[in-house]
Each structure stands twice: as structure tokens, then as C-alpha cells.
Amino acid sequence: MQELTSRFPYRGNFFQIYSHPDCLLHEVGADHPETPDRLKSVLRGCARLSPALPISWQTPPPAQVAELELVHDIGYLERLRSACQQGHSCFMSYDNQIGPQTFRAVLAAGGCALALAQTLLGQGAGFALVRPPGHHAGRKRAEGFCYINHTALVIEAIRRQQPEATFLVVDFDVHHGHGLNFLYYDDPGIFYYSLHGEPEHIYPNTGHRQETGQGAGMGCTCNITLPLDSSGDQWLQQFEDHLHSFEKKLRPDYLLVNAGFDAHKDDPFGVMHVEDRHFRAAVRGLYTVARDYCRGRIGLFLEGGYSKGVLERLLPTIIEDLALAHLGGD
Ligand SMILES: [Zn+2]
């Protein structure tokens, strides 16, 4: 990672990448899909990006526990820390495997999210390449390989300085991001758009189309479900058909994207048949939304996606697309 920070030195107006070597310390066992090799694959692919690209690669300091309290319950954070220290093998559910260094990885990923929030506040754009992922985590709940909700952390860090800020959150991981969705289910300042597999057939079994928010947030959630085995063309079409439903509710100041790649046809979960070109087209379209509504302020987070080949090949091309769009304003 040091090679990447020296190859892409800090430039404030470039597209910012945030990652941290401690994110690799979360060891979950060889038979668990969410391995350090996922992020290593992304980094290996990014090492082949041209140094001439307008990319700035940074390793921000890990978050302080107190900073994570912007979103999470302190008792929950302390329980997670002590479970790691005491050598527990999982936390709150069997799929959340932990190791002695997991809390260090959690703090490192949180630090990347907080740095991304500062970039967005400064009118910039960037991508947090972190693990463990975050979109299933609730205020005091770890679930679906997630411990800290990075998207919520960015929202709250920005709101601390801009209490009236509004957000469009787009989640294209094949699993519904129920952690974030239910944290803000009644919040009219956050429009959540998620595209995922039909909840009858896939974890976390939430995110039905009729779940559209509640109270003041009624209508601010748009859950689009697709049958398992959907093609990439069907998947991509949903952005055209439904993404712009936020326009009736708010003009977002910021666009945040939960970028999961487990709808890919090569993903070992084998849920859908989305191809590289569909993901690239989706992200390009999202950049256009950010440019048209949010003055280019887009922040992305690595969520799921378990094919190391896909991560190594596809993530760098997406980063290149975003960096060129960000600098070129196209
Ligand atoms: Zn997923």
C-alpha cells in the first residue's frame, strides 16, 4: 500500500482513494468468503493503474472509538473490542467471525470513512477501499460480515458540520443494506435506493418493494428487488427506471454509494449475472447524478463481492473512470 501512496501522492483536487494496511488484519478463516485476499486483489489491480491518472491515494489515521460513537452505541463497541481481545471466534452471529486484530481493522476502516467525509465536505470525491464491509451493521448490531456502518459514519460526520445536509445513498450490493436502511428509515434527509435480490430468497430477507420508509421518512426509501438469476441488462435497466424517484423528495447535497460486486456473474455466491460492463455503466451513471445534483460530491464504499479475479480486474477500471470523470467534469 505504501507503493500506492507514493505512486499517487496527495493532490486535493484529484479523486481520493482511502485505504489502510490494518484492514488486512481482520482474519476470518480460510473457508470464510470475506478474506483479506479480497482487498489484496483490489490493491494488486490498482498497482497497475497509470501514475498519470488524477488519483490521490491516502492512508488516513485509524478512527478513535469515540468517533465511532457518532453512529454506534459505546457498549456495543466495547463488547466488540473485548470479544476480539479475548480471542472469541465470532461476534453476535456465526457469520461474523473475528480474530484478535479485527478491532484494529474496524478502526482503520472507520478512519477511512471519516477521511472521506472530510473530502466530501471540501467539495471532493473519493472511494473508501476498506474491509470489513459495513452496510449490514446497525447501531448496536454486527451482521452479514459487517461491524461498523461506514456510510452512516460519513453521514453523521458531515451532519456535525452541516446539520441540514441531505444525502442520496445508492446500494447496488446484491444483498439489501438493511443496516443503513433501518438506521434512517424515518429520516427525510436521506433517500436510500437499493437494488438487490428478492428478499424471499436471499439474505437478509428484508428490502421488499413495499418498504418505502416511515413517519417523516415515508417515501424516502426505494427498494428495488430483482429475481435471482437476473441478467446484467435487467439489473442495469433498474437504474434507468427507478433511481430518479428521489427527485420527488429531495435534492441531495451528497451521493454515497455502497459498492458491492456480488451480483457479478463470476461471484462465488452465484446470485446474478451482471458483467463488468454493467457495473462500469452503473457507476458512470451515478457519477452523472453526482455531477448534476451534488456538484460532483460522490463517496463510494467497498461492500461485498467475493471473486478475487473480479475485484482485481474491475475495481481499477471503475476507479479510473471515476478519476477521469472527476477531473474532466464529464
Ligand atoms: Zn453482499
User: Which residues contact residue 23 at a Cβ distance below 8 angstroms, ignoring those fewer than 6 apart?
Assistant: 36, 39, 105, 108, 109, 112, 129, 130, 131
Active site includes 136?
Answer: yes
Instruction: Supply 76's cell numbers.
Output: 456495543
Q: Are 169 and 187 in contact (CB under 8 A)?
A: no
Strand-pairing partners, residue 190, are 167
If you measure from the C-alpha of residue 284 to the centroid of ligand 1, how many angstroms do you get, rounded to a whole number? 21
Beta-carbon contacts of residue 295 (< 8 Å; ≥ 6 apart): 123
Backbone angles phi, psi at 91, to 5 degrees: -135, 115
Location of C-alpha cell 434507468: 240
Cα 52 to middle of ligand 1, angstroms: 33
Residue 133 CA to ligand 1 center (angstroms) comes to 9
Give CA–CA dist 244/240, Å, rounded: 8
Looking at 173-212, which runs of residues are DSSP E strands? 190-197
- Domain with 89, as residue range(s), is 2-328
Span from the CA of 188 to the centroid of ligand 1 (angstroms): 26
How far, in Å, CA of 152 to CA of 93, rounded? 22
* pLDDT for 329: 54
Instruction: Using alpha carbons, select from 22, 32, 13 the residue that is nearest to residue 269.
Output: 32
- pLDDT tens-digit map of 185-217: 999 999 999 999 999 999 999 999 999 999 999
- Kind of pairing, strands 190-197 and 167-171? parallel
- Residue 321 CA to residue 303 CA, distance in Å, equals 19
Task: Find where cell 428495488 sits.
Answer: 224
Number of domains in the chain: 1
Rounded to two decimals, the pTM is: 0.97
Identity of the amino acid at 93: S
Question: What's the farthest any 2 CA atoms get from each other in the chain?
Answer: 51
Q: Is the dihedral of CA 113, 119, 123, 128 positive or negative?
A: negative
Whole-angstrom distance, CA of residue 228 vs CA of residue 99: 33
Tens of each residue's pLDDT in the chain, 330 residues: 889 999 999 999 999 999 999 999 999 888 899 999 999 999 999 999 999 999 999 999 999 999 999 999 999 999 999 999 999 999 998 889 999 999 999 999 999 999 999 999 999 999 999 999 999 999 999 999 999 999 999 999 999 999 999 999 999 999 999 999 999 999 999 999 999 999 999 999 999 999 999 999 999 999 999 999 999 999 999 999 999 999 989 999 999 999 999 999 999 998 999 999 999 999 999 999 999 999 999 999 999 999 999 999 999 999 999 999 998 854
Element (H, E) at 310: helix 308-328
- Helix, strand, or coil (residue 306): coil
Model pLDDT, residue 330: 47
DSSP state letter for 72 = S
pLDDT of 44-99, one tens digit each? 999 999 999 999 999 999 999 999 999 999 999 999 999 999 999 999 988 899 99
The single-letter code of the amino acid at 7 is R
Looking up residue 124, the CATH number of its domain turns out to be 3.40.800.20
Q: Which of 20, 72, 135, 136 is catalytic?
A: 136
Residue 327 Cα to ligand 1 middle (Å): 30
